[in-house]
Amino acid sequence: MSTLPPLPEFLAEIRRWIEVNIDTLAPFYRAAPETYEDRIAVGSRFLRVLYDAGWMRYGWPEAIGGFGGDARYRTAFYDTLWDTGYPPPEQHMTLEVIGSPLLHYNAPLAAELMPKYLSGEASLSQGFSEPEAGSDLAALRCRAVRDGDGPDADFVVNGQKIWTSNGYLSEQCILLVRTGTTESRHRGLSMLMVDMDTPGITRRPIAYANHHNELAEVFYDDVRVPSNRLLGEVNDGWGVAMYLLQFERGLYPWLRASRMLYRLELLREQLRERGLTDAWRAQELGHAFLAISALRARAARTVRRLSVGETIGPDSSGDKIMLANGEQLMLETARRVLGGQLQLEDSASARDWRSEWQFTRSASIYGGSAEVQRSIVADRVLRLPKD
C-alpha cells in the first residue's frame, strides 16, 4: 500500500470495513472464550481474518510486510475493535510488548517471524522470571554457553523459567539468559529467541486463580539455540530487556485500558437490563470511569512518545502503577455493583466476570510489582532522598 491514510480516515475505513463484513466477523462479536486455550485459538482465527484484510499490517514497517506508520495506527485499530464489540485477538498483547524490540535488535529475524505473529500462524511468549529471580532479574541463573569459540557457534541453554506468559502454547519464547558470571549481574545477560519445539524443552502449565493456563513453568536441558537467534549483542541482554519493558509498562497499559472501557460498557448494559440503575451504582461506575480515563491520559502520552522513537525509561513505571490501580478498581466495582451475580451465579456472564476479577488481582504483581514500581518512581523520577 503506497499511501498511508491520515488517522481520522484510517479509523473511518476500519468502521466501514466492519459494517460491510459483519457476517464474516460474527463469530468474534463480544467473544468471551472460557479457557485460555480457546482464547488463543479464537485469536488465531481472528488474526488471520484481520491480516488477510490488511489491518494487522498498519503501524509496522514495510521490511516485514507492513504498510508503515507507527504505534498510533495499531492502538487506534485495537481501540476501534473494542469500541465496535470485537475484542482484539489475545495475542496482540504479547505481540505489542515483544514486536518492537525484535525489530530493533534483530531485523532479519523480525522479517522471518513477524508475519507469522501478525497472521496468527504463531505466537510469542516471554521468559524472564525464575524461581529465585522475579523482580530482581539481575540475579537470574538460566545459563547459555557457546558450543565453540566463533561468533556463529550455537548457544546451549540450561535452567528453569517460571511465570512465562503464554509459555504453554507459544511457538517461540524471548528468553533472558546468563552468559556472563553470576557476579556480573545485569552486565552478564543476553537475550535469545528460542523455538519452543526444540529438543530439551519441557513445559508445564500454571493456572491462574481463574483456572486459565496463561502461564507456564519451562525447563531447558541442553537446548541448542542458533547464534542468529541472539537479540542485540552477547552480554547486552539487560539493555534489550529495558527497551522491551518500556512497551510492557507503557504501551501495554493503553491496551488494557481499552479493554477496561469495553468491560465498563458491558457492566453498564447488564445493570440497566436488571433494573439496577440507582444513584449509588451510577456513582461507582463514575469512579471506575475516572480511574480508567486517568490511565488513558497517561498512556496516550506514552504512546505518542514511543511513536516518535523516544526512550521512556523509568517514567513507564508510573503507567504500570496506574494500570494496576485502574484495573483493580474497575473489577472491584463490578464485584460490588453486581453483588451475588459475580460471586454465586453459574451463568457464562458471571463466570466471565469472576475470571476477569481474579486476573486483575495479579495486576499489581505481573510485569514488576507495585512496590518495585513505586521505588523506581521515587528514586529515578522524583529523585526523593534515600532516608
> What pLDDT is stored for residue 343 in this prediction?
84
Report the CATH number at residue 209.
2.40.110.10
pLDDT band at 86 (very low <50, low <70, confident <90, very high): very high
Strand boundaries in the chain, DSSP class E: 124-127, 143-146, 155-161, 172-178, 189-195, 201-206, 215-225, 230-231
Catalytic status, residue 248: yes
Report the CATH number at residue 372.
1.20.140.10
Would you say residue 387 lies in a domain? no
Same domain, 170 and 255: no
Would you say residue 2 lies in a domain? no
> What pLDDT is stored for residue 277 in this prediction?
93
- Looking at every residue in the chain, the average pLDDT score rounds to 93
Indicate the pTM of the whole model.
Answer: 0.92
Would you say residue 1 lies in a domain? no
d(CA 200, CA 198): 6
The active-site residue out of 130, 214, 248, 284 is 248
Per the DSSP assignment, residues forming a β-bridge with 60 are 68
DSSP designation for 60: B
Would you say residue 42 lies in a domain? yes
DSSP designation for 200: T
Last residue of a domain, which of 203, 235, 267? Answer: 235
More confident residue, 249 or 47: 47
Does pLDDT of 160 surpass 90?
yes
Q: Mean pLDDT throughout 201-213?
A: 91
- What residues make up the domain containing 318? 239-381
> What pLDDT is stored for residue 367 in this prediction?
79
Same domain, 38 and 103: yes
Same domain, 160 and 253: no
161, 178 contact by CB (below 8 A): no
Same domain, 250 and 200: no
Last residue of a domain, which of 189, 204, 235? Answer: 235
Q: Mean pLDDT throughout 230-237?
A: 97
> What pLDDT is stored for residue 31 in this prediction?
95
pLDDT band at 1 (very low <50, low <70, confident <90, very high): very low
Encoded amino acid at 143, one letter: R
